[in-house]
Structures are given as structure tokens and as C-alpha cells.
Structure 1
Amino acid sequence: MKRFIIISLTICLSLFSCQSNDTHKNKLKVDYEKSEPKEVIIKNYADALFSIDTADFSVGLKKIQKEFPTFLDGNLNDPKAVEYLKAFATDTFCIRVNDIAQQIFPDTKKLNKEIKSVCQHFKYYYPNIDIPNTAYLYISGIDYEMPAIMILDDGIVISMDFYLGNDNRIYDYIGMPRFRSLRCQPDYISRDLAQSFYSTFIDKTNHQKDVMSEMINAGKRLYFIEAMNPSLPDSILMGYSSKQMQWAQLYESDVWASVVGNNMLYSNEVEVFRTLFGDGPFTQAFSNEAPSRLGEFIGLQIIRSYMNNNDISLKDLMNNNDLQQIFQKSQYKPK
């Protein structure tokens, strides 16, 4: 395996603190509250489904079908369809997950406010794009094949079982890696909702051929998420623990020096991509304390620098596919 020559990281993390440059956030302070939607409706499909009397399950499904067409648009006169839903609603694991979810989300006032804020920020920047004002809460059974949040024509669909708290033992039970369950916190819902808006309406990127392009595209995505959530902490934006975030901020210039010094910036080698963009508990090529996806972190800093140094709107940034130009005009020089 090829080994990278990593610039020495000798400064002790415990001796220094690093404050990120937040001047870019001035551009993100917008009068979003005048935008639609004025109201967001949250409907708890999971609670309705798991509350059905199993002795007369088919009748119970038909009673809630009109309220939850996103989930129950099929033929409920089909015995196989009813049996499938009943098997799910009576599965002991799914029942346990739903019980935990209802405890985590006893009411939806805070969640409603967060969803509304992200939606209004999106409509501020993209007033001509129609988005739903109804959000549905459901249980997926912690299905890795399904996104945690989806934006459909008739509603925003949120899988509550991906936000049960990173210390919940249910994630250990199913064998979810700790670096992944770190992001299974309610505080991540607004971030993931913005991510879903990006992937649904904004993202038009193709597979990138080199590290620089991948960095810029990742930075654009993260900056968009931040624009939808200006008060979002960097640790949640990046999906890092507080210590990992501190490491990334402290050693940003060292990581950048390694990327440039080891000729990685325009590399298209699989191993280099894995080192800089692969998800995991850490980036061993730098340090066991270094978080993963450092290429994305650097990409975000490049975009922040670009937005600080140029009179560019968010829409202009998203529409600009000249990634080399963005990189050059960013004047990115970490200290």
C-alpha cells in the first residue's frame, strides 16, 4: 500500500484552541421569516400505525389511509399488502424502536420550528421551487437502504429511528459503527433535511476526476446546508465529535500542506480519494485522532473563503460549475 508523506503534526491539541473564521456567516443572515411556508404540519404516521388494533388491522389501516396517503396509497383490499404492514407493525424490534422514538419526540414543537426554518430559508433563496409544507414521521426499522429524510411531492418524510440519540443501545444492537451512530441525534434532523433539499433540487454534479473537484463540490454542498441552517455548529455540519472538530480546525493548515506537498490535489487515485473522502472513525494517514472526510472539510473552507472574497450569491455559487475558477478565486490560504 502506498504511504503518504504526512507533514509532522507536532502541536498538542490540549494546549491550543482554534476558533473558525465566522465572517462568512454574515452573508447567511437573511430575512427568511417572511418566506413560505408560514406553517408546517407534522403528522406522526408511526404513532398511528403502531396504535392500530391488530385484531382488526385491515379496518384500522383504512381509517388512517386518507391521512397518510404517502405510505398507504396501495390497495388495502389486498390481503398480502395488509399482511406485510401487519407483520411490520407487530415485529418486536420495530415496536421497540417506535416506543423509543415516541419517547424521544413526545411533542413536535421544537421539530416543527426547525423544519419550518429550513424550509423558509430554502424558499428565500429559491422562491419558484414548490416544496411541501407537511412532514411525516415514520419508522423504517433502521433501514440502511432508505435515506433518513426524503422530500416527496406530497410531503417531507422523516425516519425517526435514525435520530434516537447517539448513545442509544439500539444502534449497538444492530451493529451500527459508532462513527455513524454519532450522527443519530435529533440535532442532525435540520442538517439532514437541508442535505435532502440539496440532493433533490440542487445537486447536478457528475463523478469527479480529481481531488480538487471533489473538494469543491463537497464544499458547495456543505455551504448550502449551512445556508439553510446558519446557526448550525460546524461539528454537526461535518458530522464530527467536538474533539474531531477541534482537531480539524487546529490542523487545517497541516492537512492542506500535506495535500499540496504530496501532489494529491489533482490526483485521481482511489487510495487518495479513500484517504480524503472515505467515511470512518478516523483518518489513519494523518492521525488516529484525525476525523474522516478531511477532504470535505477542506472543501468547505475553500468555499467559505470564496464567498468571503467574492460578491457571489448562493444561487450563483450553486450554478457555477467552473470548479477550477472557484478554487483560484477563493484565495484559500489556511494559517
Structure 2
Amino acid sequence: MKYPVFTFILVFTVFFGCKKSNRFTVKTDDIDINIQFIRFDKELGKEDTTATAAKVDTFQNKYPRFFNLYSSQIIKTGVPTGKNFEKYLNRYLTDTVYYQVYDTVEHKFSSTQKQDLIIRNGFKRYNYFFPERAIPDIYYMISGFNESVVVAKDILAISLEDYLGVNHPFYQWLSLYEYVRINMYPEKIPTDALWGWLKSEFPYRAEQQTLLNKMIYEGKIMFVLEQLLPDEPQNRILSYSEPQLKWCETNEKAMWSYIIEYKHLFSKEPLVINKYTDPAPFTQFFGNESSPRAGSYIGYKIVSAFMKNNKEVTLKQLLDINDGADILGKSGYKP
């Protein structure tokens, strides 16, 4: 089997990405949205960590939908109206690990003001481009190292304990792989939050399950996220480290040639599709030193070329196109 030539260069410089097209520039000062940022982690753990009937009633009245979601689906202590709910919630709140996590989060995130501002401006741009779509309230929480971002109707919840820093002792204690930890730092919260919301609002609906369609879908989400958060570094938008992004940039042509040569582009094999687009330490087709999700990166580059060459297409129209071949054919993509 022939293999393409890939270059492994680690350059430790900061990549800010290209300035976005003027047609996607939005003056956020002129946009007013109704969005709340709720430190649910602090409210649940303040004063005492016991779940009394009065405390449960308070949360049921104040945050009825989120408290039910948090209890039943995130920390799995049951529904607030269920039998023995206080007992199960107390068991969670009085666990020694919860104490440690709560204290650590309280110290690390005494304020989320920086994250709040970036998220708010991102949703202002979202409101500009998608005025018919709802804006969620943002809940910060401690989930017991479950999902980093949870999305429900009008709710976007973020687990702060998942953003303590890539080398935090908690993550080493949990034996998390490096490719997982690489995005677990405070500055990653806004991009993950908006990424989660976009994925929920615009789920994957391809006409056919092919590698190309999955690549293009991932690329569309990345491209839209880039417009919503134009001041974020490109590697953060794409969920790469700086060296990983550099590797993709250096090897883009070789990766594309490989995909075409081995006829993977229209493959319907789930294993092939997953190897190109799922989180992993590397992209298996390209060797152990490659960057992960190389197919998603190529999808992002195709979508970027498509939007550059089709300036009449809006972000909403882009997300409504479910045929990846249509986007590729009109993109003029040539790495």
C-alpha cells in the first residue's frame, strides 16, 4: 500500500487565523439579547452542601426545568419529586470528591466574567444571523465529570470542572487521555458552548451517510462558529492545539490526495467516516504523528472556499444545504 508523504513540524507560535470577510462583521453593541448567566454551581453549594426539603423546593421554583434536567439526567439522582430524592442528592453533595471539586472550581472560577462576555457577544452575532432562533440561558454547573456541555430547550449548561487546565491533577487522577485533556482549559469554554448549541440547533441531516457529507457538516459548524467568535484563535475554533493546526495546514494537500486516491470521499463505511472525523489521538490513515479529525479540517477548508466563491450565500442558507457534493462542486477547492 502506498502512503502519502506527511511533514511533521512543530512550530510553537500563536495562530490568530485570517480576518473574517466584511460580510460577516457584526457590531454587537447595536444588538440587545435576553440572556442570563447563572452560577448554579455556587447556588447549589453555597452555605451548606446538604439538600433539605426547603432547598429542593427553592431550586424547583427558581429553575424548574434545569433543576429537573440536572438531577435526573446529569448527576442522575432522580427527579426532584421522586421518592428518596433528598437522600440521593445529599449523597452526591456530601461526597468527599464533590467537596474537592467544588472548592477547586470556586477558586479557579471565582468569576466567569471573561467567558460571559465572549459567549454573550457570540450569541449576539447568532441572533443577527439567525433572528428566528431562540437564545438559551447559560448555566454553569458541576456535573461530576460527565458531559462538558449539555443542551436542552432554551438551556445551555457548562461543566466548569472540565476546564481547569490541561494538566490538572483531577484529569490525571481520572486517567484522561492527552487528546481529551488538550481542550480542557478555561479559554475553551466559549467555543465549546457555542459549538454545542450549533450542533443541537443544526443537527447532522445528510441526504446520504458518506464521508464527504460528514466532513462538510463538521466544516459548516466550524465555519459558522468562526463567524460567531471572530476574535478567538483559529486553533481554538477548530479544537486543535497550535502544533496540530500547523500540521493540518502543512499536510492539507497530501491528505486530500490520499482521500481521493483511496476513494474514501464517498465511502459509506461508518468505520472509515469515524476515523476521519471522530475525536482521537490522531487520524489513523495518516499515522501516529498526525492531527486528529483530519477529515473535519478538510471539510472546514472546503466550506471556507465555498463561502469565499459564493458570496451571496448566507450562513442560514449554508446550514440548510445537506448535499456535500453540491458544496464541494461549487467551492473551487484546490489545496
Cα distance in 1 for residues equivalent to 2:332 and 2:219: 15
**2:279 equivalent in structure 1:** 279
Q: Measure how far apart 1:248 and its partner are.
A: 0.7
Counterpart amino acid of 2:288? Answer: N
Q: Measure how far apart 1:34 and its partner are.
A: 2.0
Q: Measure how far apart 1:63 and its partner are.
A: 4.2
Alignment root-mean-square deviation, CA:
2.7
Counterpart amino acid of 1:8? Answer: V
Cα distance in 2 for residues equivalent to 1:257 and 1:55: 59
Cα distance in 2 for residues equivalent to 1:259 and 1:79: 55
- 1:50-199 to structure 2, matched below 5 A, reads 50-53=45-48, 57-72=52-67, 80-132=84-136, 134-143=137-146, 146=147, 148-153=149-154, 155-199=155-199
**2:5 equivalent in structure 1:** 8
Shift in alpha-carbon separation, 1:16–1:249, aligned structure 2, 3 A: farther
Runs of 4+ deviating beyond 6 Å: 15-21
Q: Gapped runs of 5+ residues in structure 1? A: none
**1:308 equivalent in structure 2:** 308
TM-score of the superposition, structure 2-length normalised? 0.87
**Are 2:35 and 1:31 aligned?**
no
Counterpart amino acid of 1:193? Answer: A
Q: Measure how far apart 1:139 and its partner are.
A: 0.6
Does the CA-based 8 Å contact 1:208-1:214 persist in structure 2?
A: no
- 1:214-225 to structure 2, matched below 5 A, reads 214-225=214-225
Moved more, 297-306 or 161-170: 161-170
**Are 2:260 and 1:260 aligned?**
yes
- 1:316-335 to structure 2, matched below 5 A, reads 316-334=317-335
Shift in alpha-carbon separation, 1:64–1:210, aligned structure 2, 3 A: closer
Query: Size of the alignment, in residue pairs?
Result: 325
Counterpart of 1:326 in 2: which secondary structure?
helix
Q: Measure how far apart 1:12 and its partner are.
A: 5.7
Cα distance in 2 for residues equivalent to 1:187 and 1:328: 36
Q: Measure how far apart 1:64 and its partner are.
A: 4.6
Q: Measure how far apart 1:151 and its partner are.
A: 4.3
Cα distance in 1 for residues equivalent to 2:236 and 2:83: 44
Moved more, 66-75 or 116-125: 66-75
Q: Measure how far apart 1:197 and its partner are.
A: 2.2
Q: Measure how far apart 1:117 and its partner are.
A: 1.0
Shift in alpha-carbon separation, 1:107–1:323, aligned structure 2, 3 A: same
Q: Gapped runs of 5+ residues in structure 2? A: 72-78
Cα distance in 1 for residues equivalent to 2:54 and 2:230: 46
Q: Measure how far apart 1:48 and its partner are.
A: 1.8
